[in-house]
Structure 1
Amino acid sequence: MNDHYLKKLDRVTAILTQLQSKPVVRAQDLAEKFDVSIRTIYRDVKTLENAGIPIVGEAGTGYSLMDGYKLPPVMFTKEEVLSFITAEKLMQKFSHQSLGNHYQTAMEKVRSVLRYSDKNLIQNIEKQIAVFNLHAHPEDSLKNVIPIILESIEEKTQLIIEYKTVDSTITTRTIETVGVFFEFNFWYIMAFCTLRKDFRQFRVDRILQITKTQTPFLQEYGQINDYRKRSNENKVTAKLLVDKKIMSHLVNSKRYYGLIEEVETDRGVELTFETEWINDGFPRWLVTFADYATVLEPDSLRTRLNELLIKMTERHQ
């Protein structure tokens, strides 16, 4: 069998896997994924149909497997099995606790269809992979929060949350959830807040109560990345000149506070940040190494830093 037919076999098998995993698969998306022409995808789909696979759909729209059709269990390659082990280790450290049990159950199902040799591979190598998290997981007030949020997205129904803000004020909000995201070791909800009549981010570990309602929302909000880009527009650019000798102590924290550029100069290292925390979180972090840093911009950051330093001096006199 020559190389052309081996590539075709791999591609046709991969297309079948795509059909098993998605409700509808477009020919154009498959063509882009496998870097072939759409006509080649049409021929590959025809090959599957000739092999007895009941595919529903037409060229130019989308393809799917006939409802109710079942295929034998998927066989995984050794490389795929190794990727599962690594992913499981990452999920144990970085997944939200309300998702952990569901992922564990899913992985048990995956393990159940592995060949005996692959099960031995997992047993032998999983203890050789470790993931170390620099930050402790925040403790949530509630359990099973993320699944409730995801259900509200799927059902397009409003949620009522009791929420503690950064200054410990407790408010009740009715929200229409766009999505969830993980950033800086915390899970967040991106949602439309009916109280503020605008989009807001809510940190999941600050939710004290959450209630699903039967109230639908009809607005189509699109993808979460659209709103993450919008929130980035509210960020302020800050520039610092930092002594080189302190840089090794900022390796992790500078990324957390929004570092976008780092330039070494004769005077020191010029750091450029984009931050939403210009009035509180960022200047309080800057206080920890202010004797080794100069604020280049904005002036408001310099003013806020001086205010904090004066308060600290007064408190400890």
Structure 2
Amino acid sequence: MNRIDRLTAILIQLQGKKIVKAAEIADRFNISLRTVYRDVKALQEAGVPIGAEAGTGYYIVDGYHLPPVMFSKEEAAALLTGEKLMERFSDHSNRKQFGLAMEKIRSVLRGSEKDYLESLEENIAVISNGIPTEEEGFPNKFMSDIQQALGLHQVISMEYFSFQEEVATRREVEPIGIFHSANKWHLIAWCRLRQGYRDFRIDRIRKLSVTSTYYKKDNRLSLQEYLKQKKQHSPDDPILIKISLDKDLMRYVRDQKYYFGLMDETVKGDRVELTFLQPYLNQMARWLTMFGSRVDILEPESLRQVMRDHIADLQNHYL
């Protein structure tokens, strides 16, 4: 990248955040801190009002804005790919907002870039792996509201359906972050009812409103701190599990297979092979017991031994 392009990119980076550290700029462009200082000085001499806070970073004075940014065709294609992913992995509210943003982006593209995007659009697809994205009875439209509450540190009031307890409860929570895992979005929040951090599946929220009550962010863990603690407290690492069962049993398996970490499903004649990533062998063994002799554990051997122990316990109990 030549220096003119780098200066423009640095200016865009500065406009994109409230404060940008010199080390962030150096890492992004693989340049030395000395070069960063020279580049920032060059921008200041060109009339860009860049301020600096000792030990913090650089910022652009309020009121200064770049003229409308033009996207390259490669950048536009990356955004189109993001739109396809949003259609598959986000909820109604986020899809709508991202669609509106893409309309604005398309409006500033040159004619050649628009033609390029149109030719790509029909040739990019995100294929479903069979995991249901939505469940009937749940609106699945609260992502934008949750993001607002996260950004402004507002308390959320919601009606949440607990799968384990099979009951809906009213909760007031202080959100600390969201993450996507196993094809579901999760809200991590401090629950005022339970007085602790809880993991809420967003697709199980029936009603939600952002209250006018604010909470102190510094009183709560960050999402990264929470996830780090959760990882440290995890009793086991995920284990690769493969089983084979009669094809006609699949109607009984239904969504249960996803709760056990389904990774792959392959039909082989009148049998189906399922692959899971699951740390809890005891839970898996208890689930497989319901299928009796019509299921075979292909691997690991440790799960076969857990199954033997489980069956022996049952036999001793009933004899």
Q: Offset at 1:285?
A: 6.4
Q: Offset at 1:27?
A: 1.0
The C-alpha deviation readout for 1:91-133, integer Å capped at 9, x for no partner, is 1111222201000000111111111111111112211111111
What's 2:261 paired with? 257
Structure 1 residues 187 and 309: CA distance shift in structure 2, 3 A: farther
Structure 1 residues 212 and 187: CA distance shift in structure 2, 3 A: same
Q: Retained in 2: the 8 A contact 1:238–1:297?
A: no
Structure 1 residues 256 and 42: CA distance shift in structure 2, 3 A: farther
Q: Structure 2: which amino acid aligns with 1:192?
A: W
Q: Offset at 1:291?
A: 1.4
What's 1:225 paired with? 224
What's 1:155 paired with? 152
Displaced runs of 4 or more, over 6 A: 243-246, 253-256, 285-289, 307-310
Structure 1 residues 60 and 37: CA distance shift in structure 2, 3 A: farther
Q: Structure 2: which amino acid aligns with 1:35?
A: N
How far, CA to CA, are the matches of 1:68 and 1:202 in structure 2? 40
How far, CA to CA, are the matches of 2:309 and 2:211 in structure 1? 42
How far, CA to CA, are the matches of 1:156 and 1:213 in structure 2? 10
Q: Retained in 1: the 8 A contact 2:155–2:212?
A: yes
Q: Offset at 1:197?
A: 2.0
How far, CA to CA, are the matches of 1:120 and 1:37 in structure 2? 39
**Secondary structure of the equivalent of 2:209?**
strand
What's 1:236 paired with? 236
Q: Retained in 2: the 8 A contact 1:240–1:272?
A: yes
Structure 1 residues 78 and 177: CA distance shift in structure 2, 3 A: same
How far, CA to CA, are the matches of 2:141 and 2:48 in structure 1? 39
Q: Offset at 1:75?
A: 1.7
How far, CA to CA, are the matches of 2:132 and 2:228 in structure 1? 28
Residue 290 (structure 2) pairs with residue 302 (structure 1): no
Q: Offset at 1:188?
A: 0.9
Q: Offset at 1:30?
A: 0.8
TM-score normalised by structure 2 residue count: 0.76
How far, CA to CA, are the matches of 2:309 and 2:72 in structure 1? 57
Residue 46 (structure 2) pairs with residue 51 (structure 1): yes
**Cα RMSD over matched residues?**
3.6
Structure 1 residues 200 and 211: CA distance shift in structure 2, 3 A: same
Q: Offset at 1:49?
A: 1.4
Q: Retained in 2: the 8 A contact 1:284–1:305?
A: no
Q: Offset at 1:222?
A: 4.1
Structure 1 residues 190 and 58: CA distance shift in structure 2, 3 A: closer
Residue 90 (structure 2) pairs with residue 86 (structure 1): no
**Secondary structure of the equivalent of 1:236?**
coil
Q: Retained in 2: the 8 A contact 1:159–1:176?
A: yes
**1:191 maps to which of 177, 189, 204:** 189
**1:284 maps to which of 283, 287, 290:** 287
Q: Retained in 1: the 8 A contact 2:244–2:295?
A: no
Q: Offset at 1:179?
A: 0.8
How far, CA to CA, are the matches of 1:99 and 1:297 in structure 2? 43
What's 2:19 paired with? 24
Alignment of 1:105-184 (within 5 A): 105-134=100-129, 135-139=131-135, 141-142=138-139, 144-167=141-164, 168-184=166-182
Structure 1 residues 58 and 237: CA distance shift in structure 2, 3 A: closer
Q: Structure 2: which amino acid aligns with 1:157?
A: Q
Q: Retained in 2: the 8 A contact 1:42–1:59?
A: no
How far, CA to CA, are the matches of 2:100 and 2:300 in structure 1? 51
What's 2:267 paired with? none
How far, CA to CA, are the matches of 1:57 and 1:179 in structure 2? 30
Q: Offset at 1:174?
A: 2.0
Deviates more, 1:50-59 or 1:88-97: 50-59
**Secondary structure of the equivalent of 1:19?**
helix
| Paired-residue identity, % | 34
Q: Retained in 1: the 8 A contact 2:244–2:296?
A: no
Q: Retained in 1: the 8 A contact 2:153–2:217?
A: no
Q: How many residues align?
A: 287
How far, CA to CA, are the matches of 1:48 and 1:59 in structure 2? 18
What's 2:95 paired with? 100
Q: Retained in 2: the 8 A contact 1:239–1:298?
A: no
